[in-house]
């Protein structure tokens, strides 16, 4: 039976390229975003959910198990929220802070918690950026969420199979734009299939 990848946050950006790569490698792929899409094959499905609400995560695992009989082998958390803070790092009201931290951290943690509970050999890969190491006052809330996630992922790596991945430009500077879906896809597939926990924070240049 082919392995299952669940890709949380999959749209026009790198998510779809990552999903295509796993599907081409023989995985059954369930992708998720707020926007509906449809696929014609039995081994590929797109589900809808809004990760602003962390309770949206568990039903996705239930749906995957109902459809394919097993828990995911690989969970990729790729969604993000980045309400800008261009004029003042504290300009955003606390309700937007909660929304951003739910999408960048709480739902990501919830996915890891549920994934590991249902399959303790699961590989969990989070699409990060450089904000676990850099302070950028223009995107304070994105930085809070990414750095919090980098923290618990490094702790969770003790249980094996947890990664925070950060694409950089060829010169090593933070990427911001120009993300390479193909480079993420190749790396994620390699991590999904590796037998040992490597360094949990992976900085790669592409």
Ligand X SMILES: NC(=O)c1ccc[n+]([C@@H]2O[C@H](COP(=O)([O-])OP(=O)(O)OC[C@H]3O[C@@H](n4cnc5c(N)ncnc54)[C@H](OP(=O)(O)O)[C@@H]3O)[C@@H](O)[C@H]2O)c1
User: Which residues contact ligand X (rule: CB under 6 A)?
Assistant: 9-15, 33-35, 49-52, 78-81, 103, 127, 129-130, 166-167, 174-176, 179
Catalytic residue (one of 12, 146, 158, 190): 146
The Cα 134–Cα 71 span in angstroms is 35
User: Are the C-beta atoms of 192 and 163 separated by less than 8 Å?
Assistant: no
Is residue 146 flagged as an active site residue?
yes
- SS3 per residue for 30-74: EEEECCCCCCCCCCEEEEECCCCCHHHCHHHHHHHHHHHCCCCCE
Q: How many CA atoms lie within 13 A of 117 on its CB side?
A: 9
User: 71 vs 150, which CB is nearer to ligand X?
Assistant: 150
Residue nearest to ligand X (CB): 11
Q: Which is nearer to ligand X, 9 or 21 (CB)?
A: 9
The CB-of-195 to ligand X minimum distance in angstroms stands at: 26
Closer residue to ligand X (CB): 9 or 161: 9
Supply the residues annotated as catalytic.
Answer: 146
């Amino acid at each position: 039976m082919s392995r299952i990848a669940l890709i949380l946050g999959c749209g026009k950006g790198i998510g779809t390229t990552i999903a295509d790569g796993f599907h081409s490698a023989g995985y059954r792929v369930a992708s998720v975003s707020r926007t509906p899409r449809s696929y014609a094959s039995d081994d590929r499905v797109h589900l809808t959910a809004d990760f602003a609400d962390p309770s949206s995560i568990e039903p996705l695992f239930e749906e995957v198990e109902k459809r394919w009989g097993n828990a995911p082998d690989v969970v990729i958390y790729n969604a993000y929220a980045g309400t800008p803070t261009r004029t003042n790092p504290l300009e955003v009201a606390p309700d937007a802070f909660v929304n951003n931290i739910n999408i960048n951290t709480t739902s990501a943690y919830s996915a890891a918690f549920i994934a590991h509970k249902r399959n303790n050999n699961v590989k969990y890969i989070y699409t990060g950026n450089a904000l676990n190491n850099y302070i950028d006052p223009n995107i304070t809330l994105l930085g809070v969420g990414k750095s919090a996630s980098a923290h618990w992922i490094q702790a969770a790596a003790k249980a094996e199979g947890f990664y925070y991945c950060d694409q950089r430009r060829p010169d090593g500077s933070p990427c911001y734009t120009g993300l390479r879906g193909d480079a993420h896809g190749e790396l994620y597939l390699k991590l999904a299939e590796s037998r040992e926990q490597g360094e949990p924070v992976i900085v790669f240049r592409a």
